[in-house]
Amino acid sequence: MSTDVPPRRRYVKVRPVEPRDFPGIIALCERTYPGSPPWSASQLSRHLEIFPEGQLVAVDRGQDVVGYAASLIVYWNDYAMDAPWKEFTDGGLFTNHDPVLGRTLYGAEVMVHPEIRGSGIGGKLYEARRALAERLGLLRIRAGARLRGYAKHAERMSAEEYVRRVARGSLRDPTLSFQLNRGFHVLAVVPGYLKYDAESLGWAAVIEWINPAVATAAELAAVPRW
């Protein structure tokens, strides 16, 4: 991908995933998580069969995939707060998608091409995800935010302390700060979320955005303070 165009001036469009996007999504995964197996075409096509509206890409003018966000609907009571990513996504297959009982849109994946991060593409994917939750009348969006900057601080502080500092703005985490700036708050800090993730050492913050059009006053008041 050329980096001639300054990030701020890049055109991108967010739209639902189509099968022609699969090679681009796989290449993006390989760039984002080198050394980890990327999504396979058969997993991606399963996601499209199960919940097509929940699968989004950001594409540039040439229809190259520069960003990707995958979601499913879960019935939250089926899961422990500290369940790992594998459980929330049924090992990445999304066969646990439950649009009947579920009121929670679960953010299973979000990634932007490393060369053009910081140009608003992640924000656009998050806006589209929020619009989806609103359109479907869901109560909330939840996700595990892997604590990408934590390994560098792990000798000096616990993961909880790290999250507290990120939430208060005295530290910046490349993922969690982005999410907190988009209306999410932290519910819990959990170990073992992505077991082999060296940057987070497996730690994640369970994060939530509440749909104010659907939430009760009690649900809105229950938002924890970090």
Ligand X SMILES: CC(C)(COP(=O)(O)OP(=O)(O)OC[C@H]1O[C@@H](n2cnc3c(N)ncnc32)[C@H](O)[C@@H]1OP(=O)(O)O)[C@@H](O)C(=O)NCCC(=O)NCCS
- The SS3 of residue 134 is helix
Find the part of the chain contacting ligand X (CB under 6 A) among 11-19, 70-78, 145-153, 212-220. 145-153
Neighbours of 141 (CB within 10 A): 25
Q: Which of 169, 181, 220, 222 binds ligand X (CB under 6 A)?
A: 181
Please report, as a single letter, which amino acid is at residue 23.
P
Q: Which of 121, 128, 141, 163 binds ligand X (CB under 6 A)?
A: 121
Find the part of the chain contacting ligand X (CB under 6 A) among 93-101, 134-142, 170-178, 215-223. 170-178
Residue 135: CB minimum distance to ligand X, A? 21
| Closer of 118 and 212 to ligand X (Cβ) | 118
Between residue 85 and residue 114, which ones bind ligand X under the rule CB under 6 A? Answer: 110-112
Q: Which of 92, 119, 129, 208 binds ligand X (CB under 6 A)?
A: 119
Listed residue (79, 93, 96, 81) closest to 207, CA to CA = 81
CB within 8 Å of 101: residues ≥ 6 apart = 75
Report the relative pairing of strands 185-190 and 104-112 from DSSP bridges. unpaired
| Closer of 32 and 98 to ligand X (Cβ) | 32
Q: Which of 97, 140, 142, 148 binds ligand X (CB under 6 A)?
A: 148
# residues contacting ligand X (CB under 6 A) = 19
Between residue 6 and residue 35, which ones bind ligand X under the rule CB under 6 A? Answer: 32
| Closer of 108 and 139 to ligand X (Cβ) | 108
Specify whether the CB–CB gap between 122 and 110 falls below 8 A: yes
| Closer of 117 and 164 to ligand X (Cβ) | 117
Describe the strand order of the beta sheet including 185-190 as a list of residue ranges. Answer: 13-16, 55-59, 65-74, 104-112, 140-146, 204-210, 185-190
Give the alpha-carbon dihedral of 211, 81, 86, 197, to 10 degrees. 100
| Closer of 97 and 142 to ligand X (Cβ) | 142
| Closer of 100 and 168 to ligand X (Cβ) | 168
Report the relative pairing of strands 140-146 and 204-210 from DSSP bridges. antiparallel
Specify whether the CB–CB gap between 144 and 88 falls below 8 A: yes
> In this structure, what token pair is assigned to residue 49?
């069969």
Residue 110: CB minimum distance to ligand X, A? 5
Which spans of this chain sit near ligand X (rule: CB under 6 A)? Answer: 32, 110-112, 117-123, 145-146, 148, 174-175, 177-178, 181
